């Protein structure tokens, strides 16, 4: 009886040890996360729609490659429609700003008996019935010239990556266009912050670390832009703090000027004409 009893107690103790040991075995199931997050370079270009009534996103560019020009950069343009620039400080497209107005390009009548005569006496940028004159005496050297006649247009850029801009003008359609493209120059500049019909730039920095004049190629004759030319290359993003797209945008201003030194740019012998040339700006990630 005693032998059987001790045998039974030993067997129970062994089972208890085995059960206790099984609770210490490690779990064999495993789950591994390999989380990869990527953000591409993004450039948002906005200006106006065809009517100029409201600001519109005109281009959405994704950086998918690198290159020294827009043709080789490999970026993806997600909006293929035409871009409409705006008059600086407003949202009215430049292509419509003068076509519906009655008037002509202002000029200066030089070397009269009363000195040089400005034809734009009202200051509205054109020669029209709003201007008024008194009589002046003609002399042997009395002539006409275009003196720094300018037009401006603008577009806005927000980016999380440095970007560059190319400009291209298209071939002239007449002899007059040929002459005017030779004497008309384009200069691009940038504004960091401002107010128009919509405020911009409160959360932006200039797109070049060298300041407001750095990164620009200088003035180009419109004629030279028949081949795409780089007109700006930046080295930093515009967005520097949280904000809206407008807050993180800077404004690029294109100035088109017929300068005073271009004395062959305009003469009454050219008659009447309308000069219009399309200049396309391509924003890309180099």
- pLDDT tens digits for range 12-30: 444 444 445 555 556 677 7
State the pLDDT at residue 38. Answer: 77
Question: pTM of the prediction?
Answer: 0.78
Give the integer Cα–Cα distance in Å for 163 and 240: 15
Half-sphere exposure of 124 (CA within 13 A, CB side): 14
In 3D, which of 167, 162, 204, 157 has the Cα closest to residue 188? Answer: 167
What count of other Cβ atoms lies within 10 Å of the Cβ of residue 158? 25
State the pLDDT at residue 2. Answer: 41
Give the integer Cα–Cα distance in Å for 229 and 165: 9
State the pLDDT at residue 195. Answer: 85
What Cα–Cα distance (Å) separates residue 78 from each residue in 64, 126, 139, 172, 271? 12, 39, 60, 30, 44
**pLDDT tens per residue, range 52-111:** 778 889 899 999 888 889 988 889 989 877 678 888 877 777 655 554 456 677 888 889
- Of 85 and 112, more confident: 112
Q: Is the pLDDT of residue 160 over 90?
A: yes
Q: Is the pLDDT of residue 149 over 80?
A: no
- Of 282 and 13, more confident: 282
Q: Is the pLDDT of residue 190 over 90?
A: yes
In 3-state terms the chain splits into helix, strand, coil percentages (rounded to 5) of 15, 30, 55
Give the integer Cα–Cα distance in Å for 23 and 41: 53
Instruction: Say if CB 201 and CB 250 are below 8 A apart.
Output: yes
Q: Is the pLDDT of residue 224 over 50?
A: yes
- Of 11 and 255, more confident: 255
Average pLDDT, the chain: 82
State the pLDDT at residue 283. Answer: 93
- Which residues have CB under 8 Å from 59's CB, separation 6+? 43, 44, 45, 46, 77, 78, 79, 83, 283
State the pLDDT at residue 40. Answer: 83
Query: Under DSSP, is residue 270 helix (H, G, I), strand (E, B) or coil?
Result: helix
What's the rounded mean pLDDT across residues 34-42?
83
What's the rounded mean pLDDT across residues 45-51?
83
Q: Is the pLDDT of residue 3 over 90?
A: no
Instruction: Say if CB 204 and CB 157 are below 8 A apart.
Output: no
Q: How confident is the model at residue 7 (pLDDT cuts 50, 70, 90)?
A: very low
Give the integer Cα–Cα distance in Å for 193 and 167: 23
Q: What are the tokens at 259?
A: 């300068």
Which range has the worst mean pLDDT, 11-20, 137-146, 178-187?
11-20
What's the rounded mean pLDDT across residues 181-204?
89
Most confident of 46-50, 122-126, 232-236: 232-236
Q: Considering the chain, what percentage of its residues have pLDDT values greater than 70?
A: 82
Q: Is the pLDDT of residue 1 over 50?
A: no
State the pLDDT at residue 22. Answer: 54
Most confident of 54-68, 98-112, 140-154, 234-248: 234-248
Give the integer Cα–Cα distance in Å for 138 and 135: 10
Give the integer Cα–Cα distance in Å for 225 and 170: 8
């Amino acid at each position: 009886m005693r032998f059987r009893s001790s045998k039974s107690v030993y067997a129970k103790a062994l089972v208890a040890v085995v059960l206790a040991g099984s609770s210490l075995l490690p779990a064999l199931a495993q789950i591994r996360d390999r989380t990869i997050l990527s953000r591409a370079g993004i450039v948002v270009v906005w200006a106006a729609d065809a009517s100029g009534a409201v600001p519109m996103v005109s281009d959405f560019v994704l950086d998918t490659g690198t290159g020294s020009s827009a043709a080789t950069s490999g970026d993806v343009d997600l909006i293929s429609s035409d871009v409409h620039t705006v008059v600086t400080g407003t949202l009215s497209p430049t292509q419509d700003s003068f076509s519906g107005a009655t008037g002509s390009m202002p000029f200066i009548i030089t070397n009269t008996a009363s000195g040089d005569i400005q034809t734009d006496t009202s200051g509205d940028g054109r020669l029209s019935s709003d201007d008024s004159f008194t009589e002046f005496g003609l002399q042997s050297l009395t002539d006409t010239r275009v003196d720094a006649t300018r037009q401006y247009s603008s577009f806005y850029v927000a980016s999380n990556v440095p970007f560059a801009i190319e400009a291209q003008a298209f071939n002239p359609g007449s002899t007059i266009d040929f002459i005017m493209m030779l004497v008309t120059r384009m200069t691009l500049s940038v504004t960091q912050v401002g107010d128009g019909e919509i405020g911009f730039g409160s959360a932006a920095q200039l797109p070049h670390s060298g300041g407001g004049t750095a990164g620009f190629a200088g003035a180009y004759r419109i004629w030279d832009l028949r081949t795409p030319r780089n007109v700006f290359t930046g080295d930093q993003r515009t967005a520097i703090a949280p904000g809206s797209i407008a807050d993180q945008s800077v404004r690029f201003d294109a100035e088109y000027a017929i300068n005073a030194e271009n004395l062959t740019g305009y003469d009454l012998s050219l008659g009447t004409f309308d000069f219009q040339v399309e200049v396309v700006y391509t924003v890309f990630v180099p």
